[in-house]
Every structure is written in C-alpha cells, then in structure tokens.
Amino acid sequence: MTAMSTMSTKSEMPEPRNLVAGRWVSGGEPSVAVVNPADGQVLTTIPDTAAEGVDEAVRAARAALPAWRSTTPFQRAAVLHRLATAVRGDLEPLARLITLEMGKPIGEARGETAKLADAFDYYAEEGVRVYGETIPNEQAGVTSIVRHEPVGVVGAITPWNYPLELIGWKLAAALAAGCTIVVKPSEYTPSSAVRLFGLLAGAGVPDGVANLVLGAGTAGRALASHPDLDKLAFTGSGATGAAITRSLAKAILTSMELGGSCPQIVTASADLDEAVAGCARRGFRNAGQICIAINRVYVQREVHAAFVDKLTAAVAALSVGPGLDDPDVGPVTNAEIRDRCAAHVEDAVARGAQVRAGGHSPSDLEGTWFSPTVVDDVPPDSLLGSQETFGPVVGVTPYDTAEEAIALANGTDAGLAAYLYARDLGEVFSIGHALEFGNVAVNNPDAGIMNAPYGGRKGSGHGSEHGREGLHAYLQVKHLRIRYGQ
C-alpha cells in the first residue's frame, strides 16, 4: 500500500472515544494498535478503558433504565426502525471500516452491514409481539397473569469476525426488550462500532440507553465482572467464556455463543456438487473465521475421492487478495489465526494427512494471510480433526457407516452447527436427529436465519440469539397473582 493510500484509509477512521450517557469521552491514553490485516499498517490506536471508565458507562445505563423500560414496545420499535434506516444510509462507510480492520471482502462487509439494519427492523417488530398469559386458579376471585419484563442493565462483549452484525444481535434485542446496554467491541475492530454508535442519537436513542467502551483485556474484565450488571452477553472463544463465567461478580443471567469445530457429513446419496459448493462457501467465507464455519468433513468412502477432487478444484479457484478488492477470500485478521492454521495443517500432515490445496502463507503478500486449504485423510484425533481452526482450512476424513459419521461429528466438545448432505430421506432424519448441535443445516450451507433461534450446546455455549428466543433472552418472567373478589 502506498503512503498516499495509507493516509486515505487512516482518514476514514473515527476518533476512538467511548460513548457514555450520550457524550463522547476519552477512555484513557491510546495504547492498543488496530492493524489492517491486509498490509500490517496501523490504522488507529485505541485506549484500553480502565475500570473507572467502564463503571461510568454502567452507571449511565442504570440511570437510563427506568425511563427506557417504561416506554411502550411501539415507541421502542419506532426508534429501532429509524436506526435501521440510518445504518442503510451509512452502509458504505460502515462496510469499509469492517474491511479495513477485519480484512473481509468488501462485498461481504456490505452484506454484514445490511444484516445489521435488518436485525434492527426485525426486533422492532418482534418487540411488539411479546405476549403474556392468564393462568387459571383453583380459587374463585383470583387471576394469575404471567408477563415478561426487561432484564435490566446488559453488558455485551463482542468479537472481531462480525464486528457489526454480532453487536446488532445483542443491541437490537436488548433495546427492543426495554433493557439498557454497555457494549465493548473487539480491540481488533473497534471503529465500525464507534461509527455505529454515532448514529444512535439521530435515531432517537436516549442518552445512556446504549453505551460504548473501547479496550482490550482491562476493559473486558471490568465489564464482565461489574457488580451492577443484570445480564452478560458474550460471543467469543470457549476459553474466554469460561474465564468470564468464573469472573462474574454475582449470579446473573448470561448468554454465550462460544463457537465450535463444525462438521459436515456427506453421504453416498448426496448431490456431490451441492455438497462441494456448500463446503466451499461455509468453509472459506470470511476466510473461515465464522463460528459456524465448516471445519471437518466426513465423506462416505464410496464418494470420498470424487468429493475431494471436486473440493480441491473449487478451493484452488478461489481468488485471494485485499478485502477492498472484493476477492473470494481476504486475509485472516491476526497472526494468531495464521499461526493456528499452520499448526493444524502441520500436525495433520505429521499424522499422515495430505494437503490437496493451499497449506501455507503466501510469501508475496504483506499482512496476515493463509491460503485456502484442503487437507485429506485427516485423523480424527489431530488438531484439525478435533479443534476449531477458525481459518480457511478444511479437513476431510472418509467414513464407512452412518453410525461412524455420527460418532465422529459428535465426538468433540463443539455443539453449535453441523451440516448434512444426503438425498436419502431416512439418512436426513436419522442422522439429522442424532447430531448433537443447536443448528443443523441439511442440503444447504446456512445454519442460521434471523427469525429462528440460533445457539449452541455443550462447549459451544448456551442461550439463543435470533428469533423470538433471542428477544426473550433479554426478558424475565413475572407471575402477578391478583385476588379481586371474595
């Protein structure tokens, strides 16, 4: 990247400040560099907000809660619809910030930003459909009403792979429910969040209802352990999720989406071209940096060789380049991902696997890169066969029986999403029901849609986002028992 183009991208970066009670404030001395993964250039530097700054944001959310929770769902819906409109009007600058800091192709970043707007619209409508119940009583003259009320003050810690969309799932549902919120975005991708929060006031979000704090470990720990939260929502790694659980100041509601090593099963009855296309999309979209990315593929032995040949050709044809050039695959976001990809491939090869495509970091590109990679005959106990790579690497393993495929797919601690390609209806239902995952996509690569619940099992977390379940994650039940007669 030339010096002039570096200056032009830096000029797009918003000032890295916290938004607290409707005011932009400093989070402290800038100390955390935000790097463009396509070329290694520093884009901006943000503070790691100290506990005092996080406390100020939580106090602002607590002060704003009584007024916000007393608004009607229809009033909140109007605000969310205006926010959706504001996001669509600012789509290109938001998308460019995602690509500059995270690396994904600009077309995917535009799609992510559009989905953010859709989330605001969806929860605006879902918020007015929160219904209670009237429960019969044995005693005459008594009525029981079950109603749903806002949880209260929410802390949200969000990741870098979908820096706006994953904020939106939490922010939209929390606001629709009548909660207030403090969001800490990833230190790798803070700028799109800063720009998003700059749209709130114009959409009519009252001061203090939604607050933003920037930072890394210091800010994250201070928010996760804050004693005045009523709920914590987290998306990230299993190790960080476990650490957060141990750090909670008291017993509060939590929802955690912790990712997972997602399997794909391809039976002999499958349409191989569909299965290959699905794997190429879900395994390599966003450079494989998706919680529901296909990581390990189990293919029935009769069609194993044909599947691998087709997948190798499809992956070798993927274009690779800087996200602003809109290739199929951009850089990985940081060196940790790049090095993990290399370690997983090296371990698999040492155990007898064969690299069929990619398998290395391109030497002619600056920044953090790993080539789209297919590895065949991957042992199930290898790193690639048992752990989440979270990069553009897919491992393939042949199997003989459905029981073997199910055992391999279920054989890790992951339980977020699984994929099944089969045309035999018996296989579709028997295997589909046996997979121990919160989301199972059959003959398609999309395990989540906005109006259906999305969440994991086992080590992939608990709680739901999307759907009415995603809204109810920010509501609590009250039983109101009223005696009105003799």
Structure tokens that stand for 59 in this block = 């106090």
CB 392 within 8 Å of CB 337:
no
Helix (H) or strand (E) holding 295: strand 294-300
Task: Report the DSSP beta bridge partners of residue 145.
Answer: 134, 480
CB 449 within 8 Å of CB 466:
yes
CA distance 224 to 75: 30
The catalytically annotated residue of 101, 108, 257, 388 is 257
Alpha helices (runs of H) in 41-89, residue ranges in sequence order: 51-69, 73-89
474: left (phi over 0), alpha (psi -120 to 50) or beta: alpha
Identity at 438, one-letter amino acid code: G
CB 380 within 8 Å of CB 408:
yes
- 179 catalytic residue (yes or no): no
CA distance 4 to 22: 35
Helix (H) or strand (E) holding 410: none
The catalytically annotated residue of 179, 262, 291, 341 is 291
Residue 61 CB neighbour total at 10 angstroms: 26
Q: Report angle CA 164, 169, 173 to the nearest 5 degrees.
A: 135
Phi, psi of 476 (to 5 degrees): -125, 150
Which three-class secondary structure state does DSSP give residue 326? coil
Could you list the beta-strand ranges (E) of 151-268: 153-157, 180-184, 210-212, 231-235, 253-257, 262-266
- 257 catalytic residue (yes or no): yes
Nearest to 459 by CA among 240, 254, 233, 258: 258
Residue 237 CB neighbour total at 10 angstroms: 15
Query: Residue 66 burial by CB count (10 A; 0-12/13-18/19+): exposed, middle or buried?
Result: exposed
CA distance 176 to 193: 19
Over 22-42, what HEC string results?
Answer: CEEECCCCEEEEEECCCCCCE
Active site residues: 257, 291
